[in-house]
Structure 1
Amino acid sequence: MEACFHGGRRKQAMQRFANKVALVTGASTGIGLETIKRIREEGGTVFAAHRRGKIDIEGVASISLDVTDEGNWTRAISKVVSAAGRLDILINNAGVRESGSVEETSLEQWRRLIDTNLTSIFLGCRAAVPAIRQAGGGAIVNVGSITGIRGTENMVAYSASKSGITSMTSSLALDLASDNIRVNAVCPAAIRTRMVTNWLNSSQDTDAAEAAVLAKHPIGRIGRPDEVASVIAFLASDDSSFMTGMSIPVDGGRSIR
């Protein structure tokens, strides 16, 4: 099959997500937004979930969703199924990044990170699995972090929340395999998102902070959101039909340094 490259994105003649319905959280910017574009371009019906604002992409429906609220999840899944008749794919991308050592991290901050990054995925999967099962199976992709594979200094709560995603992904995969539901995760390192840009800009010396980040990545640069979206799309598609329970680093080689 012929494929071409344009703007760093692989364009395929085949529509991998034709007749598939996907819900993507954390959808307004960065990795979530690029994932929506990718699935939409490849023929999928996409629902963009976020706390506020509207996703201005033709054919993409927006859903207001607080990922830490159980009732919000129930209503969001119901809206998707009512509108599209099914749900095949869940992309758990919503998350927050905050720094702090164990002594600097308040209990409030700890709970905020655990609730937003980890409990949200538990709630999302619990709400979505019956609909995906009803559709005959499908795929769940959780967005973790390289810190879920290797701890990072001064990020005790964030690292804990992302490590939980890695373990939970494996457990979910075992529980759901018999339902033809595959569960995998991507673990990005530094990606040029609003989250990372804000963190760099908050540093006392932005250039020095970025240089330190670059030094951790053998590829020698910060990643792009569309590079992570490409891996998410692969894991959500039938191209990865014999993969489940995996947490895949998308990290410019950081995890092997």
Structure 2
Amino acid sequence: MTSDTTQPELADLVAIVTGGASGIGAAIAERLASKGAQVAVFDLNPDAADPKHFAVPVDVSDDASVRAGVAAVAERFGRIDIVINNAGIGAQGTIEANGDEEWHRVYDINVLGLVRVSRAALPWLRQSPAAAIVNTCSIAATAGLPERALYSATKGAVLSLSQAMAADHLREGIRVNTVNPGTADTPWVQRLLGSAADPAAERAALEARQPHGRLVSADEVAAAVAYLASPLAGSTTGTSIAVDGGMQGLRLRPIA
């Protein structure tokens, strides 16, 4: 698809952002809208979404809910071009910390949730001249983090699944990529800090393990997502962008 430089790069395109009412999802929705997209937000709490977006109550762990949400977007806009699978939940602990029920619950949202949304949107994406799926993954998929066994397992699955999806759908004109944030300044991380015995020390530790020395911002993640979703990234598929202050690849010497 060629780009008309007189229009915003996402003009006329329709995007779904799951988990788009808060945190990274809200930042993604705002960034896509600023580039001209019509944005539909899927969220358990759609009333919290920016009123300028088309907010739909969707539970990504429920296939009927997902299909109804996708149908509502298609009816409203007549097309779907971009799917941002951002909805997810966290989990703490080693493999001993969570029973089978919690493992199934987190996988059902973090992995099968993106499957359900992408699967329901595929018929519309196949009709788009600029189809793109971007899945929010994590540094946890590429680095071993303590006390994150379950969460890391789901994000490792997201990374591998995204590559398989990219291979399956490339010749249908659908690009699939991931963004791998480091520890981001999100409501979930704020709740995590709030439950720590020493929130200030915990925040300092999280900042220090990222080479640039701070938490990642939601806007920084949104910028990477917007690039991958854009027709300007038409030759980029099956890849991931680490937005982690260098945590994935850099090994800096300690400050003397």
Which of 16, 19, 24 is the equivalent residue of 1:23? Answer: 16
Which of 106, 111, 118 is the equivalent residue of 2:111? Answer: 118
SS at match of 1:204: coil
Which of 65, 80, 100 is the equivalent residue of 1:72? Answer: 65
One-letter amino acid matched to 2:214: R
Which of 153, 157, 163 is the equivalent residue of 2:156? Answer: 163
Instruction: Tell me if the contact between 1:14 and 1:42 (Cα under 8 Å) persists in the aligned partners.
Output: no
One-letter amino acid matched to 2:145: T
With over 3 angstroms needed to count, the CA separation of the structure-2 counterparts of 1:204 and 1:19, relative to structure 1, is same
1:125 Cα deviation from its structure 2 partner: 1.1
| Map 1:65-214 → 2, pairs under 5 A | 65-214=58-207
Deviation string for 1:180-236 (max 9, x for gaps)? 100000010111100111111111111111111111111111011011000000000
One-letter amino acid matched to 1:145: S
One-letter amino acid matched to 2:189: V
Task: Work out the CA distance in 1 between the residues paired with 2:50 and 2:205.
Answer: 36
| Map 1:55-70 → 2, pairs under 5 A | 55-70=48-63
Unpaired segments ≥5 residues, structure 1: 1-11
Q: TM-score normalised to the size of structure 1?
A: 0.92
Aligned length: 246
**Identical amino acids, percent of aligned pairs:** 35
One-letter amino acid matched to 2:143: R
Unpaired segments ≥5 residues, structure 2: 252-256
Task: Work out the CA distance in 2 between the residues paired with 1:206 and 1:221.
Answer: 15
SS at match of 1:54: helix
Supply the RMSD in Å over aligned alpha carbons.
1.4
Task: Work out the CA distance in 1 between the residues paired with 2:217 and 2:194.
Answer: 18
Deviation string for 1:71-93 (max 9, x for gaps)? 11111111111110000000000
Task: Work out the CA distance in 2 between the residues paired with 1:115 and 1:161.
Answer: 9
Deviation string for 1:5-40 (max 9, x for gaps)? xxxxxxx98511100000000011111101111111
SS at match of 1:134: coil
Superposition misfits of 4+ residues, deviation over 4 angstroms: none
2:254 maps to what in 1? none
1:118 Cα deviation from its structure 2 partner: 0.7
With over 3 angstroms needed to count, the CA separation of the structure-2 counterparts of 1:161 and 1:81, relative to structure 1, is same
1:56 Cα deviation from its structure 2 partner: 4.9
Which of 218, 229, 234 is the equivalent residue of 1:236? Answer: 229
One-letter amino acid matched to 1:120: G
With over 3 angstroms needed to count, the CA separation of the structure-2 counterparts of 1:73 and 1:153, relative to structure 1, is same
2:238 maps to what in 1? 245
Task: Work out the CA distance in 2 between the residues paired with 1:201 and 1:171.
Answer: 38
One-letter amino acid matched to 1:114: Y
Q: TM-score normalised to the size of structure 2?
A: 0.93
With over 3 angstroms needed to count, the CA separation of the structure-2 counterparts of 1:116 and 1:56, relative to structure 1, is closer
